[in-house]
Structure 1
Amino acid sequence: MTDRYGVIGHPIAHSKSPVIHRLFADMTGQDLSYDAIDIPPEELSSRVQQLLAEGFRGLNVTVPHKAEVVKLASRLSSRAELAGAVNTLIVHADGVVEGDNTDGIGLVNDLRRNLRTRLAGTRILILGAGGATRGIIPALFDTKPRDVMIANRTVDRAQTLVQDF
């Protein structure tokens, strides 16, 4: 039986996730489908419930849904709880839907392994103050940078992040 996964967002047509996940499945011999699913914000809750009822085993979450999807998870990982944002919904065998946030660990691992970047003691500039930023801040703080600066179009949103973290 083919395992079903997808990425949800709005808009989503630009996403390369389906191509990446199909290549990964082919390389590892996994039988899975992975679809890009456009969900307008006003349909988020009902559509996610529908996808889960249809047997999806997991969903990646992107703009603009990362903060709202928190409410749809049965439980949250400590990373998602701290971030207040979810980029991954995992359906466990017992039916529990767990929200996780892998943005931070993914970014830090990429910077360290692929770019060989040392983060401790450095100055870090983050552009944007949305759900992805909420996901990366805790992981960046764990690397002990000297400073973390946030630039955003709206100052209020950046200030909210500073207050939250």
Structure 2
Amino acid sequence: MKKWFAVIGDPIEHSKSPAMHNAWFEEMAIDATYIPVHVPSENLEAAVSGFKTLGASGWNVTIPHKTAIIPYLDELDQLAEKMGAVNTVVRTNEGKLKGYNTDGVGFVRSLEEAIGTSQKEKPVLLIGAGGAARGIAFAMHQQGYTNLTIANRTVANAQTIVDEMGTGRAISLAQAEETLADFSILVQMTSAGLATGNFSMPFSLDRLAKGAIVADIVYNPLMTPFLQAAEEKGATVVAGLGMFVHQGAIAFNYWLGEYPNTNSMIAQLKAQLGGQ
């Protein structure tokens, strides 16, 4: 019987997940399909119930449902529970719905593809304290990054993540700018730089350390203004596209027990997005 998967969100038409997963199904000769489903917040419970009734094997969850969906699931993976956010739902063999979060681990895989695994003791500055930031902070901590600092406009929000992780420190954006030279790895985790939004730099990169590694979680545009500014300062930059592809590949693996080809997918999407 043909399996089917989906991504739910509001809005949803911008998502590149259907093209990515359907290409993987075709490449791997898997009899399945993946569709985008527009689900306004007031219809979320009905959508989950409908997916169960209609036999969806699993689905991805995007804005604004990553936290709101939790009460409608039967169980959560340990990392998703800590983060309080789900981006992947798996229908188990018993028919239960289990929630995972692949965003943070997807980011770490993308980062380590670019810089290797020998930088885990280097000082890391995470910029932002929203849902994506929470996921990346927890995943980096879980994957062995030992020196994390979270900078945010509202320091209390950064402190909340630090308290929940049980490690790290929280500082203001102004403090981050003043002490920028102290950090070897920077991760821009706010929505600044999205093609659909108005970009404003969180702070100046004038004090960026020579040879720093700077990552952004935004993948459209590929080179955000933040990454452009970092590159001009001589930094090694890591675009958000790898995170997007790897979080999808990890979800794919949860659903089907196979890991798809991420390198070819990154190359395909990069070409679509106008990158080299």
Question: Which amino acid in the other structure matches residue 99 of structure 1?
Answer: G
Any stretches of 5+ residues in structure 1 without a counterpart? none
Q: Which residue of 1 aligns with 2:195?
A: none
Aligned-pair CA distance for 1:45 = 1.3
Alpha-carbon distance in structure 2 between the residues aligned to 1:38 and 1:158: 31
- Counterparts of residues 71-110 of structure 1 (less than 5 Å): 71-110=71-110
**8 Å CA contact 1:91, 1:98 repeated in 2:** yes
In structure 2, the residue matched to 1:160 is 160
Q: 1:148 aligns to what? A: 149
Question: Pairwise CA RMSD of aligned residues?
Answer: 2.0
Equivalent residue for 2:11? Answer: 11
SS at 2:69 equivalent: helix
Aligned counterparts of 1:84 and 1:123: Cα–Cα separation in 2: 26
Aligned residue pairs, count: 164
Partner Cα separation in structure 1 for residue 70 and residue 151 of structure 2: 23
Q: How far, CA to CA, are the matches of 1:127 and 1:48 in structure 2? A: 33
Instruction: Tell me which of the two structures has the higher relative contact order, counting C-alpha pairs closer than 8 angstroms and 6 or more residues apart.
Output: 1
Q: Is the 8 A contact 1:119 1:145 kept in 2?
A: no
Q: What displacement does 1:127 show?
A: 3.8
Shift of 1:118: 4.1
Q: Which amino acid aligns with 1:102?
A: T
User: Taking every aligned residue pair, what percent have the same amino acid on both sides?
Assistant: 37
> What CA deviation, in whole Å up to 9, does each residue of 1:36-70 have, x standing for no partner?
11111121111121122111110111111111122
Give the equivalent residue in structure 1 for 2:25. 25
Q: Which structure carries more strand by proportion? A: 1
- Structure 2, unpaired ranges of 5+: 166-276
Tell me the CA shift for residue 117 of structure 1: 6.0
Q: CA deviation at 1:156?
A: 5.1
The structure with the largest alpha-carbon Rg is 2
Match of 2:137 in 1: 137
2: distance between equivalents of 1:111 and 1:70? Answer: 28
8 Å contact from structure 2 (residues 105, 136) kept in 1: yes
Q: 8 Å contact 2:129–2:150 — kept in the other structure? A: no
Contact 2:126 2:137 (C-alpha < 8 Å) held by counterparts: no
* TM-score calculated relative to the size of structure 2: 0.55
